[in-house]
Each structure stands twice: as C-alpha cells, then as structure tokens.
Chain A
C-alpha cells in the first residue's frame, strides 16, 4: 500500500462494496416486506373464507360442528386453529396435526426492525389490509420452520391462520446468491475503475513529480505546468512554483556572490602578486627585503587558497557544485593515491600502511575525492609524530565504500569530534606542520555530502590517535536526479 494510486483504488473498491452491501440489505428487506404483505393478503382472504363457512352463528357452534364446516375447506397451504370463548382450542386443521400455533411473536432481526421503523416513519410501510382487531406476527414451529401468522377474532372465537414462510426464505436465498455473484463482479469492476480513477486523479501529481525531478541546480528555471482550473492540486503546484522561485533567486544570489567575490578579491591579489614579483626580479634588494617579499607572495597564495575554499563551501552548501560521477575501481584508485601518500609520509618520516578489501566499482567524482583523500592524509600526517604510523583502510562493502584514516597522534576528545568539521575550527594543540586554513575537514564533509555519504571521527582501535572515516554509497541514490523522469 505504498502507492497512493493503489490506496485510492482500494478505497474506491471498499466504498463500492459497502454501498452494494447496504443496497442489498435494504433491497432484501423491501423484498421480504413485499412477500410478507402478499402472504398477509392470502391470510386475510383465508380468514374471510373461514368466517364465511362458519356462518353468522359461529360463536354458538360446538367444536364438532366447527370441524365439520371447516373440513370441507381442507386447504393444504394454510394452517388453521380456532379457539373457543374459553380460550381452549376448538378446531385445528388437519395439516397442523398436533402442532400448536404459538401466540407469541418471535424476536425480529435488529436490522430488520430498524429498517421497518425507518420505512414506517417514511409512511412507506404496507397499509394494513386486515380487520382492525387482527394482528400478524412471525413464529417458528418445529419442523414447519418459520410461519407467518394472522390472529383474528370473530365474535367470541379467536382464529389463527398461518402459512409457512418457506417461499420468502427461498426467494431471499436466491437473492443472496445473486448478491454474491454481484460482489465478485463488483470487486473486478471497482478495482478496474478504481485503478483508472487513481491514474486520472494522480496525473497532475505525476507531472509535479516529473518536473521536480528535472529541477536541479543546473536548470532552476523550470516550472510545474499549472492548469487554469483553481483546485487543490493546481494550488499545490502554484505553491511549489513559488517555492522554486525563491530557491532560484537565492541560488542565483549565491552564484553571483561567488562570482563577484572571486573577481573583486582576486584581481587585486593578482596585482599584488605581480608587483611583488616585479620587485623581486628587478633585483637590488637586501636578502632580508627579498625574504620579506617572498613571505608576501606566500601569504598571497595562502589568502587565495582560503578565498577559494570559502567560495567552494558556499557553493557546495547551496548545492551549486556539480559532481561528475564515474565508475571507478577503488582498489586501483587507492593504490594510485597511496603512491603519492607514501612519498608524502616518507618526507615526514611517518610510516604509512594502506590496505583495500573487496572487489567492484564505486561511482564517484575522482577529482573531488582525491582532494578529500589528500586533506585527510595531510591532517593525519600533521598530527602524527615522526616514527609513528598512519593507516589507510579501504573497504568495499555490499552497499557502501568505507575509507578510514587512522593516526597515532594525540587524538581528539569525543566532545570536539563533531566540531572539527566546522569552519575555521582548530584544536589547541595545532601541529607545527599545519599551515592549513582550518577549512580542510569542512571541505571534506561538503564533498562527501555531495556524494550522499557521511564522514565522522572516532577513537582508533588501538591506543591514542584519531580515526576519520567516510562512507559513500556505491551508486547515486535514486532520489538525487539519477532517475530519468518519464515524460507523459
């Protein structure tokens, strides 16, 4: 039930079945009432016949006379019982043999009673066709099953006429069978209709989805088509479009800022550097002056690096950086990186171990990831004293690729471990080699997040030191624009 379409189809089917069930119940009641009404008519006419046969002196007849007069009218269908003035049975029709017609109505079905009351309140109940002093009711008599009984008084006699309700029951059973057939047809028809309905209902939503998938940082100008009709879905689309407008303008702001800041800051830096170098090449300086100018050039380079890193972070945080994923074998990638890492470690007199396990490919941007690896390596080297070891572990797991850098430096207290990924955060015991900007780990985190991965710091498995681990999924998550939207 993960799809709204399936849920709509399901609810539509349930509602149709419920409606069908209600109609069936009401229909059955009305049918039953109709049948009972015709039974009652039959009972009334049978009573009239009995009365006619007994004649006007009915009250004075002896039981034998009653039997004699009524015997002529030996109806098979109707059961007749005549009670004398003293309440005793004076006659019982032959088909009744020794059975007694009960004088108590059996409890009706609750639903039927409710329906009866409802229809009576609507004045739709069948009009009484019976004499004013008669009553009708239902009762069950042993092997005869349910009977419809009418009780009348003629003079001081009380006459009960009854008829089996078998006919009614048979009709109801047949009606029910038709109903079950209808249920099956209804399930099929309503699921087909429900499915079609959900497709039609969800079409605008699918359009919204398709457009939303297409809108990435490269084409923020796209908008969801809005129908002219004012309804909930077009309102939603309008709302989303307004959101995209705001998003686009803030994206553009970030981009403009990045471009303008670059230009405004770097052009003067270029001039500073060119002028300084001019002084250096023209010569005639004391060694101390020359050294000062070299420091200026170095600081210009450092400043430039900080500007670039800040701009990178601002663009990455606005998701304005495009990642070009390529399938790469992590084993060869790590091997190639380790070649350079080894050289850097050797120059610091730090031992380097690297290992990789698992075969397969990972989709990532090799250039950006190289920067992550280099940043993590220089961090590890900066904090590891000479003679100690840095360990790089690369592991290809079923869904992720995990790389860990472990150093034997002083480590970072647990409370600080999340902070080291923030901008310009440096710890108290900054190593002497560290000439970084304090943005390296923040950049690593941005790049890893752009790859839908995560990066964190933890304790090393052995002794002091820090272990920085990142994990990226083997392939781009489907939500991240890797899906090719279906065009409808």
Chain B
C-alpha cells in the first residue's frame, strides 16, 4: 500500500511517515504543492494525506486540480482549520475524509484503513461475532441465541463495531457515523452508550467484548 503525505511541517510529516512505515505501509512525504504534483505524476498512490495550509498554495486548490484532471485516489484531508465550512468544502471538492488536528496515530490509521476498504464495502445483511448476531433487515440482535433489546442509537453503534471487528475505532470516527457531527465528543455520551452495550453483551467481565483505548477510542475484540 502506497501512501503520499503532503504536509509542510517537517517534524509532523516525518513522524507520520515513520509511523506508517512501521505499520508496513510505503509512505512518501512531500512538503509543498509543487512536490506533491510531481510525486503524483510519477507514480500512483492508494491514499493521499493532504494538509491544507501549504507554503506555496492551498491544499483545497490542489485537490480541485487533481479531481479535474481525473486523479481518483482517495484523499484524506488533514487540517488545523476545523471550521465546519472548510470541512464541508473539502468534502464537496472531492475529499474522501477529513481529519482535524490534533489527531492520534491510531485515528489516522483507522481512517486510512476505512478509505482503503471503502471500495469493497460488504453488503451482508447479517453480522455475527463471538455469539453476537445482528440482522440488519429485521433489526434484531441476539446474544448466545437470546434476543436483546436495543435502542436505535445502540443498534447503530453495534453495527459500526460489527463491521469493523478487531479494528480500533477512534471516538471522532464513531461520533461522525452515529450523530453526523463531531461536537458530541465533548460530552461523555459515547462512553455512556458503550457502557450500555457492555452491560447487554458482556456476560463475563474477565472476557471483555470491547476494549477501551484511553483518549483514542474503542475496539471490538
């Protein structure tokens, strides 16, 4: 998997490149619009991580240019500007995801995985994992064969986990999927819902179903 990192801050760019290399991605780091254009012309990439504030131009303009020229690589915008407007504009211009700074490496990896997987989304209507069975059409959840009552929010939350078994799901990503916003992170709403899921599905505390990654997110084991 080849990843292009366009980030003007030297230390941040190198840190991401190193972090990705350790997870066996092939990462290239460039620091300007000009270098990014050259890099993209030379070879294809599976994912591009694009910072918006570049010394020789605007990342959004670069993205627009790429999309007009027919480059379809998934683009993950990495930006300090977290105004909703920029976010919406970025997605409108053809970005595939948007991640506000500061972020954790786990979150970046989760989003990259989600981008790579996007083309091959499973169309399964029944999800199953460790005795938890979820029927998306009938909207029924059973645990060890026993039906469990779920509210619509809990159902949506469980669905996100069952579609990402074993993967770390950052809080921001979950909130975006469930509430279509990232403000809810401010409250402990997600933690409260997680404790409800645990109460309903974790029979044995010694053998947990969900793992909490402090400050990062949750993982369905």
A416 at the A/B interface (Cβ < 8 Å)? no
Q: Is B126 an interface residue (CB 8 A)?
A: no
Indicate the member of A266, A269, A275, A298 with the most B CB atoms within 10 Å: A266
Whether A274 lies near B104 (C-beta < 8 A) is yes
Q: Is B83 an interface residue (CB 8 A)?
A: yes
Against A, the Cβ 8 Å flags (1 = close, 0 = not) of B41-71 are 0000000000001000000000000000000
Q: By the criterion CB–CB under 8 Å, are A339 and B153 in contact?
A: yes
Range of interface residues on chain A?
Answer: 35 or more
Whether B12 lies near A270 (C-beta < 8 A) is yes
Which of A263, A298, A346 is packed against the most chain B CB atoms within 10 Å? A263
Question: Nearest-CB distance from A160 to chain B (Å)?
Answer: 100
In the assembly, what is the distance between CA of A265 and CA of B101, in Å? Answer: 10
Residues of B within 8 A of A6 (CB): none
**A267-B9, A271-B12, A277-B105 given as contacts; is B214 within 8 A of A294 (CB)?**
yes
Residue A249 at the chain B interface, CB threshold 8 Å: no
A228 to B174, CA, bound (A): 60
Of the candidates B16, B80, B106, B152, which one forms a contact with A266 in the assembled complex, judged by CB atoms under 8 Å apart?
B80
Which of A28-36, A133-141, A177-185, A301-309 faces chain B?
A301-309
Distance to closest chain B CB from A365 (angstroms): 9
- B192 contacts A269, CB within 8 Å? no
Judged by a CB distance under 8 angstroms, whether A2 is at the interface is no
Within 8 A of B (CB), among A244-287: 258-259, 262-263, 265-267, 269-275, 277-278
Q: Which of A208-257 contact B (CB under 8 A)?
A: none
CB-defined contacts of B192 to chain A, threshold 8 Å: 343-344, 346-347
Tell whether, in the assembled complex, residue A269 and residue B101 are in contact, meaning their CB atoms are under 8 Å apart.
yes
Q: Choose one: A311, A343, A378; the contact of B193 (CB below 8 Å).
A: A343
Closest to A264 in B: B80
| A322 at the binding interface (Cβ < 8 Å) | yes
Residues of A within 8 A of B16 (CB): 274
Q: Given A270-B101, A277-B105, A343-B196, A305 and B215 touching (CB < 8 A)? A: no
Q: Which residue of B lies closest to A259 (CB)?
A: B81
Interface of A is mostly: helix
Residues of B within 8 A of A272 (CB): 102
A273→B214 CA distance, assembly (Å):
13
Alpha-carbon separation in the docked complex, A298 to B185 (Å): 13
Across-interface contacts of A273 in B (CB, < 8 A) = 102-104
CB contact between A340 and one of B84, B85, B189 (< 8 Å): that residue = B189
Q: Are A270 and B102 in contact (CB under 8 A)?
A: yes
Instruction: Say yes or no for A370: interface residue by CB 8 A criterion.
Output: yes
A374-B104 in contact (CB<8A): no
**A259 and B106 form a contact (CB under 8 A):** no
Contacts of A259 in B (CB 8 A): 53, 80-81
Interface residue A367 (Cβ < 8 Å from any Cβ of B): yes
Q: Is A371 an interface position by the 8 A CB rule?
A: yes
0 or 1 for each of A337-351: is its CB under 8 Å from B? (1 = yes): 001100110110000
Contact: B105 with A370, CB < 8 Å?
A: no
A315 CB within 8 Å of chain B = yes
Q: Are A267 and B106 in contact (CB under 8 A)?
A: no
Answer yes or no: B25 CB below 8 A from chain A CBs: no
A367 touches B103 (CB 8 A): no
The residue in A269, A270, A312 that gathers the most chain B C-beta atoms within 10 A of its C-beta is A270
- Chain A residues positioned under 8 Å from B82 (CB to CB): 262, 308, 311
A297 within 8 A of B: yes
Once the chains are docked, how many angstroms separate the CA of A450 from the CA of B180? 21
* B11 on interface, CB distance cutoff 8 Å: yes
**A14 on the interface (CB 8 Å rule)?**
no
- Measured in the bound complex, the distance between the Cα atoms of B104 and A266 in whole Å is 13
Chain A, range 160-179, C-beta contacts under 8 Å to B? none
Smallest distance from the beta carbon of B19 to chain A beta carbons, Å?
7
A305 to B186 Cα, complex, angstroms = 8
- Judge whether A297 and B215 touch: CB under 8 Å: yes
List which A296-344 residues lie within 8 A (CB) of chain B: 297-298, 300-301, 304-305, 308, 311-312, 315, 321-322, 339-340, 343-344
Closest to B103 in A: A270
Task: Check B12–A267 contact: CB distance below 8 A.
Answer: yes
Q: Would A322 and B189 count as touching, CB distance under 8 A? A: no
Least CB distance, A121 to chain B, in whole angstroms = 77
**Whose C-beta in chain A lies nearest to the C-beta of B85?**
A322
Contacts of A297 in B (CB 8 A): 104, 214-215
Bitwise, B72-114 to A at CB < 8 A (1) or not (0) is 0000000011111100000000000000111111100000000
Q: How far is the CA of A311 from the CA of B195 in the complex (A)?
A: 33
B153 to chain A, nearest CB (A): 6
Of B19, B81, B102, B187, which one neighbours A269 at CB under 8 angstroms?
Answer: B102
For A262, the chain B residues whose CB sits under 8 A away are 80-82
Report the minimum CB–CB distance from B54 to chain A (whole Å).
11
Q: Is the CB of A370 within 8 A of B104?
A: no
Binary per-residue interface labels of chain B (142-182) against chain A in the complex, 1 for a CB within 8 Å, 0 otherwise:
00000000011100000000000000000000000001110
Most buried by A among B179, B180, B183: B183
CA–CA, A322 and B214, complex, Å: 34
Question: Complex Cα distance A5/B82, Å?
Answer: 48
* Interface bits B8-36 vs A (CB < 8 Å: 1, else 0): 01011001100100000000000000000
- Determine whether the beta carbon of B214 is less than 8 Å from that of A271: no
**Bound state CA distance, A273 and B183, in angstroms?**
20
| B188 at interface, CB cutoff 8 A | yes
A374 vs B196: C-alpha distance when bound (angstroms): 20
> Measured between alpha carbons, how far is A436 from B147 in the docked complex, in Å?
39
B184 interface contact, C-beta 8 A: yes
Measured CB to CB, the closest approach of chain A to B102, in angstroms, equals 4
Nearest chain A CB to B122's CB is how many angstroms away? Answer: 28
Residues of chain A with a CB closer than 8 A to B85's CB: 321-322
Interface-centre pick from B15, B80, B195 (highest chain A CB count, 10 A): B80
Contact B102 A300 (CB under 8 A): yes
**CB distance B15 to A274 under 8 Å?**
yes
Complex Cα distance, B192 from A378, in Å, reads 14
5 further A-B contacts with Cβ under 8 Å, apart from A277-B105, A367-B181, are A266-B102, A271-B9, A273-B102, A305-B186, A346-B192
**9 A–B contacts from the bound complex (CB under 8 Å):** A262-B80, A274-B16, A294-B215, A312-B83, A340-B179, A340-B184, A340-B189, A343-B192, A344-B188
A interface residues with partner B (beta carbon < 8 Å): 258-259, 262-263, 265-267, 269-275, 277-278, 294, 297-298, 300-301, 304-305, 308, 311-312, 315, 321-322, 339-340, 343-344, 346-347, 367, 370-371, 374, 378
